[in-house]
Amino acid sequence: MSESTSSVRARFGDRSLFPLLGARSYLNHAAVGPPSSRVCAAVRAQQDAFASQGAAAWMPGMAQRERVKVKLAQLLSVDPKDLALMPSTTRAISDLARCFPWRPGDRILGFEGEFLTNVTPWRVAAEGFGASLVLLPLGGFRGPSVEAGLAELERELRRGVRLVAVSAVQFSDGLAMPLAAMARLCHQYGAELAVDAMQAVGNLPLNLTELGVDYAAGGSHKWMFGPDGAGFLYVRPDRLAGLVQRVAGWLSHEGPPGFLFPDGGPVRYDVPLRRSIDWLEVGAAHGLAFAGWEAGIDMVAELGVPQIRAYTQEYHDRIEGAFVELGAQSLRSPDPTGRSAILSFRLKQPLTPVFRSLNESGVAVSTPAGLLRLSPHWPNSFDEIPEVVAALARAIEA
């Protein structure tokens, strides 16, 4: 990365690090966080290193991945040794579901409306290991209080549950879940809590140690602006020994790559697998993605996640009322602790023409589950809000 590019710091409401971004108002970070010039420069530097050095660039690339792990651990308030770097959130959850120590008859609890990344792997695991998957409604968590949702969760836990799978933030309406309370309930009844943190990491403070969650997974390409193809899995230290090593590869062994080059002897196959969670780092990774992700993490760290959360909430405060005046129904949680960087609305008008009109006006949004979803981040400026509101007014009137 060039010194001039790396020295440009992230600033709230400033898009100067995103010179290629076409949309005038990019409100779709919950789908893809566009790479900044710093991220692009880091990817190019990694590619140039392999282009010029070939295999000699491999070890520096591995060192770079370890830096990512350390920086990510700081964001999550965990020990780096409790993280495995993965190709994606989906792969992290899938490998966890495969390696979990299931027993026939185990019950898994999930929630209706979750993104498929946090449902399909558990359904497949249930079918393969003789367990069952039950999906609970989320309505009890969407009121002024989460007590109704927690009470319903506790009723199911009393019946016997092995694992509860939940997203830290619901992808469609931005509901932030009460993870600490859910973790306490799970542990009270002998269950474990697995969290899909994809829509939270980078915009919502997540101290995984204090929250008490057992597992968490996330990825690079949304709120941390990295390229796709990089993610993580966190495993609480006291849960590691219970996992079954059903996934492994050549980098899962102790001491790679030394066992490939023994002095005067053949390649060894009897080298034991590591017992640290990085045994799931099974082989060659998408090095360009991890290089870009490091630059994205650096930008988030410069601003601070609590400050990013406050900034996105102020953006929502400024735009929500104007949308409601146009007839949109806000789905923002009445409980401030249930709010995230996602703000969604239900419209009376057909959604597809509105979506098309907004994008033609240079306002990039998304429409998951039949909702109009805004997901601003720190580069968005409050000055753009009047234009976004005017674009919605035109879209509704069309």
Residue 365: CATH number of its domain: 3.90.1150.10
Least confident span in 128-142, 248-262, 282-296, 309-323? 248-262
Residue 168 lies in a domain: yes
For residues 313 and 7, which has the higher predicted lDDT (pLDDT)? 313
User: pLDDT at position 225, please?
Assistant: 96
The single-letter DSSP state of residue 342 is -
Asked if residue 231 belongs to a domain, the reply is: yes
The closest of 299, 221, 292, 297 to 43, measured between CA atoms, is 292
Instruction: Give 96's pLDDT tier (boundaries 50, 70, 90).
Output: very high
Of the candidate ranges 257-261, 315-319, 329-333, 363-367, the one whose mean pLDDT is the lowest: 257-261
Query: Is 320 found in the same domain as 173?
Result: no
Both 208 and 162 in one domain: the answer is: yes
Among 270, 300, 330, the domain-final residue is 300
pLDDT (tens digit, 9 = 90+) per residue, 287-339? 999 999 999 999 999 999 999 999 999 999 999 999 999 999 999 999 999 99
Domain boundary among 300, 334, 350: 300
The yes-or-no verdict on residue 1 having pLDDT over 50 is no
2, pLDDT greater than 90: no
- The tens digit of pLDDT for each residue in 179-198 reads 999 999 999 999 999 999 99
Q: Domain range for residue 251?
A: 56-300
Condensed to tens digits (0 to 9), the pLDDT of residues 71-91 reads: 999 999 999 999 999 999 999
Q: Give the dihedral sign, CA 333/208/378/32.
A: negative
Domain boundary among 284, 300, 316: 300
* Residue 369 lies inside a defined structural domain of this protein: yes
Same domain? 140 vs 262:
yes
How far apart CA 151 and CA 339 sit, in angstroms, is 20
Give the CATH number for residue 127: 3.40.640.10
How many domains, the chain? 2
Q: What are phi and psi of 30, to 5 degrees?
A: -70, -15
Classified as helix, coil or strand, 82 is: helix
Is 155 in the same domain as 228?
A: yes
Say which DSSP state 379 is in.
T
Task: Find where tokens 């023409």 sit.
Answer: 353
HSE, side-chain direction, 13 A CA sphere, residue 22: 5
Cα dist from 30 to 89, 186, 221, 355, whole Å: 14, 28, 9, 16
Within this chain, do residues 249 and 335 fall inside the same structural domain, yes or no?
Answer: no
Pick from 206, 169, 163, 204: which is nearest to 185 by CA?
Answer: 163
Q: Could you give the CA distance from residue 112 to residue 138 in angstroms, rounded to a whole number?
A: 7
Find tokens 């001491």 and name the residue. Answer: 255
- Kindly tell me the sign of the dihedral angle through the C-alpha atoms of 225, 319, 353, 395: negative
Is residue 4's pLDDT more than 80? Answer: no
Report the share of the chain in percent with pLDDT over 70. Answer: 96
The three-state secondary structure class of 390 is helix
Same domain, 259 and 369: no
Let me know if 55 is exposed, middle or buried by CB neighbors in 10 A (0-12, 13-18, 19+).
exposed
Q: Rounded to an integer, what distance in angstroms lies between the CA atom of residue 17 and that of residue 39?
A: 9
Alpha-helical (H) ranges within the chain are: 3-6, 37-53, 58-76, 89-99, 120-129, 147-158, 179-188, 208-211, 287-303, 305-325, 351-360, 385-397
Q: Is the same domain home to 318 and 258? A: no
* Residue 229 included in any domain: yes
Q: Which stretches does DSSP call E strand in 226-284? A: 231-235
